[in-house]
Amino acid sequence: MKSAKLEQYRERLLEERSQLVHEMDRIREAIPEEVRPPGEHEIAPSEGVDIDVSLATGDGSRLADVDAALDRIKAGTYGRCCECGDEISQARLDAVPDTKYCIRCERSFESAS
């Protein structure tokens, strides 16, 4: 892959990473210190936990994918399928820059699920 195109992917991934971190921080800051049900004095910790779990499974997972893609750029393996080693098409990388699988392997994983 040409270095100019690789740099474009790196910039997109860094921008996405920045947005994800900002959004996760914003959500965490919005969680009140004590989450209380209306009209009750007991703390309802599950509401805060639900938000943290949601972050971990949603944006947190997405952030891990972006970080992994940035690591592959540093390692010089970005754009190669982590399963079969074939080159990932530019169209796929344009659509999903953090992908680690070529379309053939991705489809194989999806059909096995």
Q: What is the pLDDT of residues 1-45, one digit of tens each?
A: 889 999 999 999 999 999 999 988 887 777 665 554 555 544 455
Q: Which residues of 76-99 are buried (b: 16+ CB within 10 A; e: fewer)?
A: eebbbbeeeeeebeeebbeeebbb
- Between 108 and 50, the higher pLDDT residue: 108
**Cβ of 11: how many Cβ atoms within 10 Å?**
11
| Protein fold of 3-112 | Four Helix Bundle (Hemerythrin (Met), subunit A) (1.20.120)
Which is more confident, 49 or 93? 93
Supply the pLDDT for residue 83.
97
Backbone φ and ψ of 80, nearest 5°: -110, 135
CA distances from 108 to 80, 85, 86, 101, 112 (A): 16, 15, 14, 10, 6
The pLDDT assigned to 31 comes to 65
pLDDT digits (tens, 9 = 90+) for 63-89: 999 999 999 999 999 999 999 999 999
Higher pLDDT, 30 or 105: 105
Closest CA to 7 of 74, 99, 66, 64: 74
The whole-model pTM stands at 0.74
More confident: 59 or 15: 15
Which residues contact residue 72 at a Cβ distance below 8 angstroms, ignoring those fewer than 6 apart?
Answer: 78, 80, 82, 100
